[in-house]
A and B are shown apart, each in its own frame.
Chain A
Amino acid sequence: MRETTARMLAAARWWRRRAENVAAFLLLAMFLCFILQIVTRYVFNYPLGWTDEASVLCWIWCTLWGAVFILREKDEVRFDIIYSTASAKTRCVFTVITGIAAIVLFGIALPAVIAYVTFLKVERTAYLGVRLDYVYSIYVLFSIGLIARYAGLTWRAMRGQPPDIQIGSGSAL
C-alpha cells in the first residue's frame, strides 16, 4: 500500500516536471519567435508573418496549459482576506463549497465548450493554416484538467486537508 502511494507520488512529480518543461518551452518559443521576427525585419529587411501568429498561439497554450498543470494553489491570485484568517477547518469547508461549485459549473459548460471547439474544424489560422479546433482544443484540456484538480482539492478538503496558500504571491503587478 505504502509502496503504491510512493510510486503514485513519484509519478505525479514526474508529470509535474514534464508539464513544467512544456510550459517553459512554450514561453521560450514565444520569446524566440519575437526575436526572429525583429531580426528578420530589421537586419535582413524580410518581415515574417507567421512569427506573430506563432507567438500568439504559444501565449494561449502557455496560459491555459500553465494554469491547469503548473500553477500551485499558492501561485493563484485570490481575494484572501477572509480565507487567510479562517481556521483550517473553516478553510476546508470553503474549499469544499467552491470546489463543488467549480466542478459543477465547468462541468455543465464542458459539452458546449467541446461543441464550440469542434465546430471550428472548418476554420484555419491566417498564416500557418493550423486548424482552429486543434489550436483551441487546449481549452477543452484546460476545462477537464480544472475539474480534475478541483475534484482532488475537494476530496482532500473533505478529509481535513485545506490547500496550502500564500498571500498575494500570484499577482504580476
Chain B
Amino acid sequence: MNSPFAIAICAILVFGLLGLPIGYSMIAGSILYLLLANLDLGTSAEQILNGLYNSYVLLAVPLFLFSAELMNVSKMTDQLLRFCDMLVGRFRGGLGHINIVQSIIFAGMSGSAIADLAATGRISIDMMTRNNRYPLSYAAAITAASAVIGPIIPPSIPMVLYALVSDASVGYLFLGGVIPGLLMAVAQMVINTLMAHRHDFPVEAPIPLRQWPNITVTALPALLMPVILLGGIYSGIMTPTEAAAVAAAYAFLVAVLWYRNITARDTYMAVLNSARSTASIGMLIAGALVFNYVVTIEQLPLTVKGLLASYDLSATMFLVWVNVILLVLGCLLEGSTIILVILPIFIPTAKALGIDLVHFGVVAVFNIMIGLVTPPYGLLLFIITAISGAPLRTIIRDTMPFVWAMVIALAIITFVPDTVLWLPRLLGYKG
C-alpha cells in the first residue's frame, strides 16, 4: 500500500467526517489518488459512467423505491392492519405482534426498511399508544425494530447492492433472505411476548370469524403483491429488475382501480420522490464505483486475503470476525456504504475460504440491517424519533432487547448455513 492510497483514504475520511456527502467524498478522494499516482483523471468519469451503464441489475433499486412510494400513497397499510389484527391481535401483547406481522407482509412488497417505516410508522404508533395501551417509547422501538425485517425478506435493495459487488445471483439472494427474515420476526415476537408478560400489555378482542372473509378480501390486493413479485422471479418469467417494474405497475393499478384514492398530484410526488432517492443512492454507488477501482488497483482485497491467510483462519472464525466488524461499523456508518465499500474487501477471502457467496451476502446484509437500529448512528432510530416524538434515549433503551434477539438470530444464520441456503437449493441453486 503506497502513500497516494493512504492520503486518499485519509482525505475521504476527513471529507466524510466534516460532512461532505459520502458519495462526493469518495469521488473527490479518488480524484486525489489519481492525481498523486499520476494517472489519467478522466478515469474517474470512465469508471462511474461505465459502471452505471453496465450495472443493469441496479435498475431494480429505483423501481423498488417507486413501488414503495406508490404503496405509501395508496394507503394499503390501513387494510393490512385489520388483517394482521385478525391473525395475531388476540395474543398477549397483540398490537406488538400486529406490528411485526404487518412488517413481514410489507417486507414482501418493498425492499427498503425506511420505506416500510415511512408507510407504517405513524399508524402503528398511533394504534399502539391510543388510550395509553402501550408506552410511546416501546411502540416506537418495536416499530423501528420490525421495519428491519423489510430488506431481509425479498425484495431487498441492499441485496441488489450486494449482488452488484459480489456477482452473486439476485434471485437466489432474495430466496436466501426468506427464512432469516422470518427468523428475525420470530426473535422479535419472542421479545414482544416476554415484554408483554412483564409489563402486562393488553390483549385485543378477537375478531369474529364471520368478519374474516371480508377483511381478507379487502387486504387481498396488498397480500397478492409478494406472490406476483416472487412468483414472477422464481418461475423465470421475469428478471428481478423487471419484477420491480411490474410491482410498481401493480401498486399503481391497485391504487387506481381498487382503493381509488390516488390523485395525479400523488402520482407525480411518488415519481419525484423516487427520482430523488434514486439520485441520492446513485451518488453513493457512483462514489463506490470509482473508489472500488482505486482499491482494486491497490490490490487491497488481495492484501487482506494474504494477511488473513497468514493467520490461518477457519471459515467459521472468519465469519465471526466479519460479523463483529460489521456490527461495529453498523453503529457508525450508513448501511449501503458498508455494502458497497467494505464488503468488497472481504469477498475474495470469503471465496478463498469456500464460503458460499449467497450465504455470506445474506449474513452480511442481515448484520448491516441490524445496524439500522443500533446507536449512535441508527437511521431508523432517528426517523422513528421524528415520527413519534418520544425521546431518542428511551427509544434506544426499549430497542436494545430487540437488537440482542436479532444478534442471536444472526448467530444462528451464521453458524447454520442451511437456514439461508436450504430454500435457494430447493429451487435449483447449485452453490
Binding site for B on A (CB under 8 A): 20, 23-24, 26-28, 30-31, 34-35, 37-38, 42, 52, 55-56, 59-60, 62-67, 70-71, 75-83, 91, 94-95, 97-98, 101-102, 105-106, 108-109, 111-113, 115-117, 136, 139, 143, 146, 165, 167-173
Known A27-B271, A62-B275: A171·B280 in contact at CB below 8 Å = yes
| Interchain CB contact under 8 A, A56 and B59 | yes
Complexed CA–CA distance, A67 and B24 (Å): 10
Mask: chain B, 325-346; 1 = CB below 8 Å from A; 0 = not: 0000000111111000000000
Chain B residues whose C-beta falls within 8 Å of the C-beta of A62 in the assembled complex:
62, 275, 278-279, 282
Chain B residues whose C-beta falls within 8 Å of the C-beta of A105 in the assembled complex:
28, 31-32, 35
Mask: chain B, 257-284; 1 = CB below 8 Å from A; 0 = not: 0000000000010011011111111111
Please, how many residues of chain B have a CB less than 8 angstroms from a CB on the other chain? 79
| Interchain CB contact under 8 A, A91 and B242 | no
Complexed CA–CA distance, A102 and B280 (Å): 17
Mask: chain B, 21-62; 1 = CB below 8 Å from A; 0 = not: 111100110011011000011111110110011001011011
Chain A residues whose C-beta falls within 8 Å of the C-beta of B41 in the assembled complex:
108-109, 111-113
B175 within 8 A of partner (CB):
no
| Interchain CB contact under 8 A, A172 and B65 | yes
Please tell me which stretch of B10-18, B221-229, B403-411, B416-424 contacts chain A, meaning at least 4 of its Cβ atoms lie within 8 angstroms of it.
B10-18
**Which of B11, B32, B268, B337 is A77 in contact with, Cβ under 8 Å?**
B337
| Interchain CB contact under 8 A, B245 and A31 | yes
Complexed CA–CA distance, A54 and B248 (Å): 18
Among A20, A27, A35, A67, which residue has the most Cβ atoms of chain B within 10 A?
A27
B382 within 8 A of partner (CB):
yes
**Which of B42, B242, B332 is A34 in contact with, Cβ under 8 Å?**
B242
Complexed CA–CA distance, A96 and B281 (Å): 24
Chain B residues whose C-beta falls within 8 Å of the C-beta of A31 in the assembled complex:
63, 66, 245, 248-249
Since A30-B63, A108-B35, A172-B157 are in contact, a sample of 16 more A-B pairs with Cβ atoms closer than 8 Å, ordered by chain A residue number, is A27-B62, A38-B242, A59-B278, A64-B286, A66-B280, A77-B281, A77-B336, A78-B20, A79-B16, A79-B22, A95-B19, A98-B18, A113-B44, A113-B45, A146-B24, A172-B277
| Interchain CB contact under 8 A, B19 and A98 | yes
How distant is A49 from chain B, measured CB to nearest CB, in Å?
13
| Interchain CB contact under 8 A, A167 and B382 | yes
How distant is A97 from chain B, measured CB to nearest CB, in Å?
6
Can you list 21 contacts pairing A with B, beta carbon distance less than 8 Å?
A: A20-B272, A20-B275, A24-B271, A30-B62, A59-B278, A60-B52, A66-B279, A79-B22, A82-B19, A83-B17, A94-B18, A105-B35, A108-B35, A109-B34, A113-B41, A113-B42, A115-B42, A136-B49, A139-B45, A168-B379, A173-B369
Known A59-B58, A67-B282, A115-B42: A98·B249 in contact at CB below 8 Å = no
Binding site for A on B (CB under 8 A): 11, 15-24, 27-28, 31-32, 34-35, 40-46, 48-49, 52-53, 56, 58-59, 61-63, 65-66, 112-114, 151, 157-158, 237-238, 241-242, 245-246, 248-249, 268, 271-272, 274-286, 332-337, 369, 372, 376-377, 379, 382-383
| Interchain CB contact under 8 A, A172 and B280 | yes
Among B15, B22, B112, B158, which residue has the most Cβ atoms of chain A within 10 A?
B15
**Which of B35, B40, B63, B335 is A173 in contact with, Cβ under 8 Å?**
B335
| Interchain CB contact under 8 A, B45 and A35 | no
Complexed CA–CA distance, A79 and B17 (Å): 6
Chain A residues whose C-beta falls within 8 Å of the C-beta of B31 in the assembled complex:
105-106, 108-109
| Interchain CB contact under 8 A, A34 and B52 | no
Residue of A nearest to B20 (CB): A98
**Which of B275, B286, B369 is A26 in contact with, Cβ under 8 Å?**
B275
Known A70-B276, A172-B157: A77·B21 in contact at CB below 8 Å = yes
| Interchain CB contact under 8 A, B372 and A27 | no
| Interchain CB contact under 8 A, B157 and A173 | yes
Chain B residues whose C-beta falls within 8 Å of the C-beta of A95 in the assembled complex:
19
| Interchain CB contact under 8 A, A76 and B114 | no
Complexed CA–CA distance, A168 and B31 (Å): 26
Chain A residues whose C-beta falls within 8 Å of the C-beta of B278 in the assembled complex:
27, 59, 62-63, 66, 172
Complexed CA–CA distance, A112 and B40 (Å): 7
Q: Lowest 10 A-B CB distances belong to which pairs?
A: A66-B279, A63-B282, A116-B42, A34-B245, A83-B19, A112-B41, A76-B21, A172-B281, A112-B42, A98-B20
Complexed CA–CA distance, A112 and B31 (Å): 11
Chain A residues whose C-beta falls within 8 Å of the C-beta of B32 in the assembled complex:
105
Chain B residues whose C-beta falls within 8 Å of the C-beta of A30 in the assembled complex:
59, 62-63
